[in-house]
Each structure stands twice: as C-alpha cells, then as structure tokens.
A = this chain, B = another copy of it.
Amino acid sequence: MNYQPIIDEIYEELLPSLNEGNVANYIPELANINPLQFGISIYDINGNSYNAGTTDKTFSMQSISKLFTCTMALREVGDEIWGRVGLESSGHAFNSIIQLEQEFGVPRNPFINAGAIVITDILQEVFKNPEMDILEFIEDISLNENIAFNIDMATSEESCGHRNSALSYLMKDLGNLNGDVNSVLKLYYKHCSLAMTCEDLAKSTYYLINKGVGVRGTRILKERNVKRLNSLMMTSGLYNNSGDFAYRVGLPAKSGVGGGIVAVLPGEFTIAVWSPNLNKAGSSMAGIKAMELFTTRTEKSIF
C-alpha cells in the first residue's frame, strides 16, 4: 500500500492547528523550541519509507528512549528485570510517588519515570560504558551512524529534575536501586536527550513489527519479548492517557514530551510523528491527531 498520499493529506490538514497545546515548559531547553513544526514518517514491513513534513530534523526522544533502554535490558538480562519493575499500567501520572511508596519501591511498569530509572540502573550494572552502548544500539537499529545525545538538554533536565531525584532516593531507600543515585540519573537524562529524526525513529522500531528482527536483518529481541513490549506500549505507552489513545488510534505506541510519538502495527508498519505542542497529559497534540486520522483512513489498527 502506498501511504504517501494519505500522509501528505494529513500534513496539509494539520498545519493550521499546530499552535494548539503547549511545549513542555518545565524543561528549560525544551521550552525554547519552535512549536510550529510537524513531521510524519512511515516505515513499512517491506522497507519502504514514506515521509511528510519535517522528518529529517532531530528532536529529543525523552520518554521514547525508555522503549530502547527497556529493549536493551530485556536483551541483556531477560525476564529477571520483571522482578524489579512491573508490567501493569499505573493508573497515575507518570511521575507519581504515591504508588511507589505503597508498592515498596517496585514501579508499575518500565515506561513511567521510576520504572525507566530502574531500567537505567540495570543498564549501568550490566554495561561497562553504558552511554556508548546505548548510542551503538540506537545506531544499529536505526541504520544511522550519527545518533548523538544532546548534552545541553541533558544538563537542562538534570538541573530541574527534583522529582526524579525524589523517586530515585525513595527506591534507594526501599532497596530497588543499586547504583549511586546521581550517576544513575545522569545516565537517565543522557538517554532521554537522544536526538533523532522521525525517519530514524520509524526505522529504529522495525523490530517491533518484524518479530524481533531489525532493519539490518539481525535479531534485536526474542519474539516473545517483542509481544511483551508491544502489549506494554498498548496499556502504558501514553501514561494515564493510554486508554484514550488506544481507542482513538488503536496501536501500541510510546510518546515523549519532546513531541514525538512512535506507534507500530505488527506485520505492517511503524509510524513516527513529531510536533512539539503537547496536550495536558504530555503527548503531542498534532501527533495524536495525525495518528488518529491515519488509522481511521487506512482502517489499519489492531482492533
């Protein structure tokens, strides 16, 4: 199927409303981005690329990076990670500390902040040079050898990340964080600052629609772990907005406050969108609209 006309149409349609919503203003470096940008990339199971709008400009992955770090942890450590982080949706905002105390420091899933920090702790235990390994992994799955962290972004987030420090110290207190809090958080902010384009992002998630085999034809993840990640994205990929997104779009997805969203239809395509203005739940407004239009018009969703 040729997706080009559909995404061109969606692009035209959304341009007038890109000013709706707000950029993430709690991270200084994100607050300065021109919000009137929009890109959409499709990468299908046969390796065809479809792009509309600004799809070759990098933006900050933010929480989308949690998908990649969770993939790395599953690959290296396997199912043991589920002893330290859960599989259920949280029913609370992404940075809630209440549930964490009530559930003895085990975060509900790897996509809320506390869960992603535990995953980062695991990566730091497993890898000698985790920053380098993360970059190499992303370069491998995205076919792009120039992926980089945005150091200013990472520093900017660290300077205002008191809530994440609180979550981390609480987990440290409850025995679910092995590394030094500051060093784990430094790595966490680094991988959140990953800069990628829509095209990169669409390609890099190819293994999620291809039973675990990536764009280079090598196995990235066991098939059963792909199923697990896709189901986690389905139930928890957009925080406590996941139910609404599941209904509107009907695809497993992961969003980030940088304005990106990536979604997948196993066996068919990946889709990445980027537009910086966010809804109240912290996901790209135009991004959600674009995906809703896309699945409605193509009649392609998991439901």
Q: Which residues of A contact B (CB under 8 A)?
A: 86-92, 96-99, 101-102, 108-109, 162-163, 165-170, 172-173, 181, 226-228, 230-232, 234-236, 240-244, 246-247, 250, 252, 266, 301-303
Smallest beta-carbon distance A28→chain B, Å: 15
Residues of B contacting A243 in the complex (Cβ-Cβ under 8 angstroms): 86-89, 109, 231-232, 235-236
The answer for the CA separation of A246 and B243 in the assembled complex, in Å, is 14
A301 touching B227 by the CB < 8 A rule? yes
A88 touching B244 by the CB < 8 A rule? yes
Q: Which residue of the partner chain, among B173, B235, B303, contacts A230 with CB atoms under 8 Å?
A: B303
Least CB separation from A175: chain B residue: B162
Smallest beta-carbon distance A110→chain B, Å: 11
The answer for the CA separation of A172 and B108 in the assembled complex, in Å, is 24
Beyond contacts A87-B243, A88-B243, A98-B102: 17 other A-B pairs, Cβ-Cβ < 8 A, are A88-B242, A89-B89, A89-B91, A89-B243, A97-B97, A163-B169, A166-B167, A166-B168, A166-B169, A166-B172, A166-B173, A230-B250, A231-B246, A231-B247, A235-B242, A235-B243, A236-B243
A contact face: mostly helix, strand, loop, or mixed: helix
The answer for the CA separation of A295 and B86 in the assembled complex, in Å, is 23
Residues of B contacting A232 in the complex (Cβ-Cβ under 8 angstroms): 243, 246-247
Residues of B contacting A227 in the complex (Cβ-Cβ under 8 angstroms): 247, 250, 301, 303
The answer for the CA separation of A169 and B90 in the assembled complex, in Å, is 22
A242 touching B303 by the CB < 8 A rule? no
The answer for the CA separation of A203 and B234 in the assembled complex, in Å, is 26
The answer for the CA separation of A96 and B173 in the assembled complex, in Å, is 12
Smallest beta-carbon distance A239→chain B, Å: 10
The answer for the CA separation of A244 and B102 in the assembled complex, in Å, is 20
The answer for the CA separation of A166 and B227 in the assembled complex, in Å, is 35
CB within 8 Å for A162 and B173 given contacts A89-B242, A227-B250, A302-B303: yes
Q: Which of A172, A230, A246 has the most CB of B within 10 A?
A: A246
Residues of B contacting A98 in the complex (Cβ-Cβ under 8 angstroms): 97-98, 101-102
Q: Which residue of the partner chain, among B165, B166, B266, B303, contacts A266 with CB atoms under 8 Å?
A: B303
Least CB separation from A245: chain B residue: B231
Least CB separation from A244: chain B residue: B87
The answer for the CA separation of A291 and B79 in the assembled complex, in Å, is 21
Least CB separation from A241: chain B residue: B88
The answer for the CA separation of A172 and B167 in the assembled complex, in Å, is 13
Smallest beta-carbon distance A196→chain B, Å: 24
Least CB separation from A211: chain B residue: B299
